[in-house]
Amino acid sequence: MKRLAEIFQIYGEARKQFFRKARGQMAEDNLRTLTGACLATVGILTFFLVLTPFLIQGWTPSFYHLGFWPASVAVSGLVLFLRGKNLSSQGVTALCVLFSVLVFTFVILIDTAAAQHAPASFLPVMCIALPSIFTLPVWLAYGLPLAAAAVFAALAAALKDPEVAQYDIFNTLVGLLCSAVMSHLVLSLRLRDYETRMKYKLESTYDALTGLYNKQSSTEASRQYFKRHNPETVCAMLVLDLDDFKQVNDTRGHYVGDQVLRCMGEALSFSFRSSDITGRFGGDEFFILIKGTASQTLAERKCQMIQDTFRRLTQEEAGFPVGCSIGALLVHKENVRFEELFRQADALLYQAKSAGKGQYLCQKYPLEELLTP
C-alpha cells in the first residue's frame, strides 16, 4: 500500500507540473482538436439525418435530433470565429466545456425523452469518447461525464420503462468506469509524450555542463530580441572567456576544467536575471545579452560581479581562483545585427585581455574603430 501511495503521489505531482508548464501547448492542442470535433459533429449529424430515414423504415427525427444540428453549427461557428482571437488557456477550456455540455445535453435528451421505449444508444459511448479527446483539469475530465451520467439516470428513471431504465443506467455506469480508465490512460500517455519532448528540447537548447543556453539557442534568442526591438534596440552585450583555461586543462586535468566551467555557469546564473540571455558559445567562451538597458554603470558592476563571483566559486570548488576577461558593448536605440554586435564585443574582449588578466572593457556601440588585439 505504501508503494502504491508513492506511485499515486509521483503521478499526481507529474500531472500538476504538466498542467502548469504545458498550459500553452495544451491550449493549442485542445483548440485544434475542438475545431475538428465541432466540424465532425456537424458532418456526422448531417449525414445521419439525411441517411437514417432510408435505413430505418418509419423513422422520423425528433425535436431533439433536429435541434442538435443548428446548436452544433452555432457552436462550430463560435469556435471558428474565436480561433484567431488569441484566446487564453482558460478561454479554450471554456469552449471545450461548452462543446462537451452541448453534446451531453442533446445525447441525453435523444436517449431519454426521444427514446422512452428503446434502450440508450449514445450516452455510454460519449462518456468514453469525450473525456479522451481533450486535455482538461482532472475535476472537469471526470466531473463532466459523472454529471452527465447522473442527469441521464434521473431522466431515464422518470421517463422510461423501469426494465429499460435499469439496463440503461447499468450500461452508463459501465461507460463511466471505462471513461475513468480511458482518461487516466490518455493523460498518462500525454504526460509521457510531454516529458520526452521536454527532454529533447532541453538537450537541444541548453549546454549540459553549465546549464546555460548553448550557442545556437542563445544566438537565436538574441536575434529574436533584436527583431522585436529594432530599429531602437536597447541592450548590453557581454562576451567573456576564462584566463589561462588551457593551462588549467593541461596541468590539472579535464575534470577540474569541467569544474571551472560549471563555476562560470553558476556565476552567470547568479549574476543575471532569468529574462536575460546567458549562453556558452563553446570551449571557455561565454556570452550575455542584458535586455532593456545600456547603462555603463550597470554593465561595469555586472562585469565586476562576474569576476568576483567566479573567483570565489573556483576557489571553493576547484581549490584555486580563476579569472576571466570581459568585453561589454552598450547599445542605446540602435538598429543592430547579431553578427556585427558580437564581432565588436569580441574585439573589446581581446582588447581587455591585451591589458592584462582579469580585466574588462566597456564601450558604446558602434565602435568608431574596430579594436584589434
Q: What is the pLDDT of residue 134?
A: 87
**Among candidates 334, 330, 220, 324, which has minimal Cα distance to 277?**
220
> Checking phi first, is residue 292 left (phi over 0); if not, alpha (psi -120 to 50) or beta?
left
Residues 145 and 239 in one domain: no
Task: Answer whether residue 370 is part of any domain.
Answer: no
The whole-angstrom separation of Cα 144 and Cα 130 is: 9
Percent over 90 (pLDDT), the chain: 50
Task: Answer whether residue 321 is part of any domain.
Answer: yes
Structure confidence at residue 177 as a pLDDT band (50, 70, 90)? confident
Residue 371 pLDDT greater than 80, yes or no: no
Residue 14 pLDDT greater than 60, yes or no: no
Q: What is the pLDDT of residue 3?
A: 54
Q: What is the pLDDT of residue 372?
A: 44
Domain with 267 in it: 215-364
Q: What is the pLDDT of residue 202?
A: 58
Residues 102 and 155 in one domain: yes
Give tens-digit pLDDT for 208-235: 889 899 998 899 999 999 999 999 999 9
Q: What is the pLDDT of residue 272?
A: 92
Q: DSSP letter at 118?
A: S
Residues 190 and 258 in one domain: no
- Amino acid (1-letter code) at residue 224: Q
The pTM of the full predicted model, rounded to 2 decimals, is 0.56
Q: What is the pLDDT of residue 204?
A: 64
Alpha carbon separation from 56 to 59, 121, 160, 164 (Å, rounded): 6, 15, 22, 21
**If DSSP codes are grouped into helix, strand and coil, which group holds residue 84?**
coil
Task: Answer whether residue 369 is part of any domain.
Answer: no
Residue 293 belongs to a domain with what CATH number?
Answer: 3.30.70.270
Dihedral sign of CA atoms 267, 272, 278, 284 in order: negative
- Amino acid (1-letter code) at residue 85: K
Alpha carbon separation from 152 to 163, 166, 304 (Å, rounded): 15, 12, 70
Q: What is the mean pLDDT of residues 51-75?
A: 88
Give tens-digit pLDDT for 246-294: 999 889 898 999 999 999 999 999 999 988 999 998 889 999 999 999 8
Residues 167 and 310 in one domain: no
Q: What is the pLDDT of residue 287?
A: 93
**If DSSP codes are grouped into helix, strand and coil, which group holds residue 187?**
helix
Structure confidence at residue 34 as a pLDDT band (50, 70, 90)? very high
Identify which has the larger pLDDT, 316 or 15. 316
- Amino acid (1-letter code) at residue 46: T
Residues 162 and 241 in one domain: no
Are 287 and 281 contacting, i.e. CB atoms less than 8 angstroms apart?
A: yes
Q: Which of 184, 205, 226 is the last residue of a domain?
A: 205
Computed over every residue of the chain, the mean pLDDT equals 86
Residues 145 and 195 in one domain: yes
Residues 137 and 251 in one domain: no
Q: Which of 179, 205, 231 is the last residue of a domain?
A: 205
Residue 300 pLDDT greater than 60, yes or no: yes
Quote the number of domains for the chain. 2
Residues 200 and 228 in one domain: no
Residues 39 and 128 in one domain: yes
Task: Answer whether residue 271 is part of any domain.
Answer: yes
Task: Answer whether residue 371 is part of any domain.
Answer: no
Give tens-digit pLDDT for 336-358: 999 999 999 999 999 998 888 88
Q: What is the pLDDT of residue 7?
A: 47
User: What backbone phi and psi angles, to 5 degrees, belong to 242?
Assistant: -85, 145
Q: Which of 205, 239, 254 is the last residue of a domain?
A: 205
Tell me whether the omega of the peptide bond preceding residue 137 falls within 30 degrees of 0, making it cis: no
Task: Answer whether residue 20 is part of any domain.
Answer: yes
Residues 195 and 304 in one domain: no
Residues 156 and 235 in one domain: no
Q: What is the pLDDT of residue 18?
A: 61
Q: What is the mean pLDDT of residues 33-40?
A: 93
Task: Answer whether residue 39 is part of any domain.
Answer: yes
Residues 250 and 300 in one domain: yes
Q: What is the pLDDT of residue 373?
A: 43
Task: Answer whether residue 373 is part of any domain.
Answer: no
Q: What is the pLDDT of residue 200?
A: 59
